[in-house]
Amino acid sequence: MLQKPRCATTNNGEDVLKYLLSRVTLGTFSVCLLVLLLALFSIYSAGNISRQAEQMYQHPYTVKSAAQAMRTRLMEMQLYLLPTMLITEKTEDEATLQMLVERDHLQDLSFDVIRQYYIGPTDDERDADLAALEEALSAVRQARLKAVQDCAGVSSPREIMIYLEQHIGPRGAAMDAALQRIMDSADTRVSEFRVAAESTRNIMIVGTALLCLLLAALIIFVSASERRKNREIAHRDQLFKLLSRSIADVFFIYDHTNRHLEYVSENCYRLFGITMQEFYRDGAIIERGLTPETIAEFHAMLADSSLSEAIERDIKYQRGHQTLDLKMRVYPIQGPKKARDNSARRSIVMFTDQTSAVAQQAALNDALILARKANNAKQDFLSRMSHEIRTPMNAIIGMTTIAAKYLGDKERVADCLDKISISSKHLLSLINDVLDLAKIEGGKFSFASGPFDFRSFINTLTAIIYPQTLARQQKFEITIAGLSEETLVGDDLRLNQILINLLSNAIKFTPPDGEIRLDITCLSHEGSSVMLRFAVSDTGIGMSKEFMSRLYTPFEQDNNVSRNYGGTGLGLAITQNLVALMSGSINVESVEGKGTTFTLEMPFGLPEQAAESQRSLEWSDMSVLVADDDQVTCEHAMLLLEQIGVHGDSVNSGPEALEKVTQARKAGRDYTVCFIDWRMPGMDGVETARRLREKVGEETPIIIISSYDWSSIEQEARVAGVNGFIAKPLFTSSLYNVLASIRHPEKLLSDSTRPNEQYDFKDKKILLAEDNHLNQEIAVEILQSAGLCVDCANNGQQAVDMYQQSGTGEYDLILMDVQMPVMDGHAATQAIRALNRPDAKTIPILAMTANVFNSDIHAAEQAGMNGHLAKPIDMPALFRTLAEYLK
């Protein structure tokens, strides 16, 4: 157990000075005694006078020593103790207050010595000097106490130092001046005594001059020798302190005999948070931060004095809330070789902070574990991808073989081709997932921001998702709340990719008779931007908390999920990245066995010049009834009707609709039109329409609202008296069209009567540059099916030659593959644009390539191409693009 040190190194200059003076006085006294004994018979009188002079000299020297000590403590208080106490706010710290009390006590002792021995030039001047010193000492103490009060709560060190300079400095200067007067008087008295003594000795004993010179020479030699030794010791001590402050390691010198610390390096606070003074007061203070196991090992290392070589151990030290990993080394200092006991009397104990190194090693180990996990995850991903890709590939190869075998059976071939198409699309979706993730991780993913028709977007989304839910006998519903705008600014393709991914997952993990919903809510509408929330919810299998913790990690997927449901495990990772890159957020809530809800919040812009609401008709005489069991749909319909100036009422069931219509007829204000939801519990829309006709006759138009394909009930609904159909979710334009057509019932249209888009490019001729003959054959077949005349080139050079040899205006458009032998598509385009003919600069040239990065599109534009079509070719997109350039 470490004990409080019996004798500790100190920095007190007074103690060092007293020690050196005691050594010099003892040597001088010994020399004088020897000389006096040898010359006693002849210099008794001179020796007696010398002793009296020395006795008198002691008085002013003692006074000067005491004054010097008071001045040193005054400077220590002004320059170190008081500023440190105020700046570090240790005004109530017991250790600091105790230190100040000890300094005050030493000042009083020194003042008592001065009061006792100070002679002064005269008695009056002595009393005046003592009074001035006492007054100055009291003024300094009062100013110090006032400084503690005035500086309480002041956090600026600069303000504290300015205050001390203004209030403590003058009083300290007064005290210093009083001390200086006393020391000057003492020096004067010393000189007077010395001159008188030397004069007396010279007059009385001339013969002793030689002895005095020898004595003086001896004293000078001893003093010089001592001063030289002291300078060397001070220099080594300064170097030692500089070393201890500079190095990171902390070291102690431990005395095995007395079991205490002889020395503690000055940098101990940097490591342990304990000052040197605290170590010297209590050597066992370090043990409070050690663990019980470490304390036992610590004691064992220090108690073993038989060590002959250095030993080291790893220990842990608790500094506040931080645990430090330290390396403790003990270097034994052996006793003299001649001594019988050769055990270590002292040891140097060194502590090295290796917390960062240990943490770095732990981080490396964690990184290694994560790397192994990532590698395993990628291996699992590759295995799944191999399975996922081979499955549609096997189907494509197998169906192709079967179709070739049954070429005469049209139905069998058609069935094979249909399955080949499905498998090809599935294979393409797998490849797209991998490519999308690669583009995101490579920072090459691009976004387009432009206006798009939100109504068309929702209708397209419904057309994709509804057939899938219908095939799995699932209920699918889309609702919109608080949004009346139909044109938004953003990337509709990426939004479509996100929602289809989430909805496809919901369909995949929801059993038959389950429910999938997409609820769209307008959270805020500020100026030219809106914040929309998309909530995709299902009643499927749900997810565990552990699975949700790695939900968005690419390449990771539960083996059971992969085996039972398929997929690459990349969809949600891509979705999360897309949402983040579009400045949105995504959250998920899920309960195992009950379902999952993904919530997206994403900003969209509004067109700078939004189209004004259509108000060409007067709506004041119109009244609308909306019947839907979904309250959100009713509220949204009321909002849209209010915006176009139409009065509306809403109910949540068929019986309520009948009652509302009956009350309106009795009041003489029949509804202009009734919107009835198809699938309502209890009484559905068709039955409600049939009963409404019994009450209101044929006068009131009845429109069925449905988010489903109503072709299966259209005939029955018409018989029941339904005039038309409108798709969910409702939009301002769709309501406006129905209400506007009420003015002309014979022109009432429904969404079910929209004509299909047809493309007819007769009398149009294009040049197709494609080096792959299979792709060329497919493209020609597709293009000719739309009435196009197609010429083919097998490489870029051939395409340039064919165009150069053609007549002006012979070709209406060029489809240019980018990667071709002899001359690639970019070079071929540049060559065509450089031809000296009138149509070379204007003929539309469209790039066809599987490279769909932004850089590829930009390269195509730089080469002079007008547009870009991604492979594999999407036929609707192809025909829309051709129609744009060939119209």
pLDDT tens per residue across span 428-470: 666 666 665 555 555 555 566 778 888 878 877 887 788 788 8
Q: Is it the case that residue 615 has pLDDT exceeding 50?
A: no
- For 12, the token pair is 């007190």
- Gap between the Cα atoms of 266 and 261, Å rounded: 13
Q: Is it the case that residue 793 has pLDDT exceeding 90?
A: yes
Range scoring the smallest mean pLDDT among 36-40, 312-316, 821-825: 36-40
- Label residue 727 by pLDDT band (50, 70, 90): confident
378 versus 131: the higher-pLDDT residue is 131
- Label residue 326 by pLDDT band (50, 70, 90): confident
- For 792, the token pair is 């083919």
Q: Which residues touch 612 (CB under 8 Å, ≥6 apart)? A: none
CA dist 683 → 285, 658, 706, 885 (Å): 85, 11, 15, 52
The DSSP secondary-structure symbol of 446 reads -
164 versus 653: the higher-pLDDT residue is 653
- For 670, the token pair is 């029949």
Q: Is it the case that residue 124 has pLDDT exceeding 70?
A: yes
Q: β-strands 311-319, 322-334: how paired?
A: antiparallel
* Average pLDDT for 672-682: 86
356 versus 605: the higher-pLDDT residue is 605
296-310, 546-560, 850-864 — most confident range: 850-864
Q: Is it the case that residue 671 has pLDDT exceeding 90?
A: no
766 versus 173: the higher-pLDDT residue is 766
Position 189 scores a pLDDT of 75
Q: Is it the case that residue 601 has pLDDT exceeding 80?
A: yes
Position 753 scores a pLDDT of 34
413 versus 854: the higher-pLDDT residue is 413
Q: Is it the case that residue 482 has pLDDT exceeding 80?
A: yes
Whether this prediction's pTM lies above 0.75 is answered by no
Residues 149-186 have pLDDT tens digits of 777 666 677 877 887 788 888 888 888 888 888 888 87
Q: Is it the case that residue 839 has pLDDT exceeding 70?
A: yes
Position 798 scores a pLDDT of 93
User: Mean pLDDT for the chain?
Assistant: 75
Q: 508: phi > 0 → left, psi -120 to 50 → alpha, else beta; which?
A: alpha
262 touches 310 (CB < 8 A): no
Range scoring the smallest mean pLDDT among 187-196, 275-284, 300-309: 300-309
How much of the chain exceeds pLDDT 90, in percent? Answer: 8
Q: Which residues are bridge partners to 867 per DSSP?
A: 846
Q: Is it the case that residue 701 has pLDDT exceeding 70?
A: yes
Q: Is it the case that residue 749 has pLDDT exceeding 50?
A: no
Positive or negative, the CA dihedral 282, 286, 292, 294 is negative
- For 200, the token pair is 């007396």
* Average pLDDT for 318-327: 77
Q: Which residues are bridge partners to 604 per DSSP?
A: 530
Position 684 scores a pLDDT of 86
- Gap between the Cα atoms of 887 and 867, Å rounded: 16
- Label residue 389 by pLDDT band (50, 70, 90): low
Between CA 739 and CA 757, with CA 604 as vertex, the angle to 5 degrees is 50
884 versus 555: the higher-pLDDT residue is 884
How much of the chain exceeds pLDDT 70, in percent? Answer: 71
The DSSP element (H or E) to which 769 belongs, if any, is: strand 765-769
* Average pLDDT for 771-776: 76
Position 787 scores a pLDDT of 87
C-beta atoms surrounding 820 within 10 Å? 23
383-387, 458-462, 855-859 — most confident range: 458-462
- Gap between the Cα atoms of 779 and 873, Å rounded: 9
- Gap between the Cα atoms of 814 and 733, Å rounded: 39
Residues 525-564 have pLDDT tens digits of 887 889 999 999 999 888 888 777 777 766 555 555 544 5
Position 619 scores a pLDDT of 67
39-53, 146-160, 212-226, 550-564 — most confident range: 146-160
Q: Which residues are bridge partners to 596 per DSSP?
A: 538, 590
Nearest to 495 by CA among 466, 469, 520, 528: 520
- Label residue 610 by pLDDT band (50, 70, 90): very low
Residues 859-880 have pLDDT tens digits of 888 889 998 887 667 677 788 8
The DSSP secondary-structure symbol of 290 reads B
* Average pLDDT for 123-131: 84
85 versus 770: the higher-pLDDT residue is 770
